[in-house]
Amino acid sequence: MMAAMDLLDVMRKRLEEAGIADVFTTMPDGRRYPESVTLAFGIPDRKTVYYDGTTTSPMRVTVIVKRLSEFNAMATAQEAEAVLKSSPLDSENGSYDLDSVETTDPQPLPWDESGRYVWAFDVYIDTRKDFF
């Protein structure tokens, strides 16, 4: 039986190891966590199957950083982007083989009505599975 994909858990662990606190894989309660980092899968791209049976699956993970200060939102987003771009994001349970990781630059999002500042960026990840 194949293990559940642990990509978001691996990403959360790398951010926490870098000292970034309150990292979640679902949007947390804003009253309980006024500042947080959320990791969420975006709409997946189409997987590619090659003649040798190898399958590549491109994925997008959006990282959303919410802070009370705009400077802290920007700084934490930049730090998180640097961590995820440079840290090993290999599966810890063997559920995927990492092929490549690319990130976009963090950008502000002007939609948070709670008075918090939100910065976000995307992480594009290609995973590979060899069947033969």
Residue 60 predicted with pLDDT over 80:
yes
Task: Please determine, looking at this structure, whether the domain spanning 6-130 carries the CATH number 3.30.2000.10.
Answer: yes
Domain coordinates in residue numbering, the chain: 6-130
Question: pLDDT-derived band of residue 20, with 50, 70 and 90 as boundaries?
Answer: very high
30/123: higher pLDDT: 123
pLDDT of 114 reads: 76
Query: How many helices (H) and strands (E) are present in the chain, helices listed first?
Result: 2, 7
Residue 10 predicted with pLDDT over 90:
yes
CA–CA separation, 77 and 63 (whole Å): 8
CA–CA separation, 127 and 45 (whole Å): 12
pTM: 0.88
Q: Label the pairing between strands 36-41 and 23-24.
A: parallel
Can you tell me the mean pLDDT for 23-36?
93
Can you tell me the mean pLDDT for 93-104?
90
CA–CA separation, 89 and 61 (whole Å): 12
pLDDT of 111 reads: 66
The helix or strand, by DSSP H or E, that contains position 109, with its residue range, turns out to be strand 107-109
- Residue 14: DSSP 8-state: H
In one-letter notation, the amino acid at residue 88 is: P
Residues 6+ apart with CB under 8 A from 67: 35, 73, 76, 116, 117, 119
pLDDT single digits (tens) 81-90 = 999 999 999 9
CB-neighbour burial class of residue 46 (10 A; exposed 0-12, middle 13-18, buried 19+): exposed
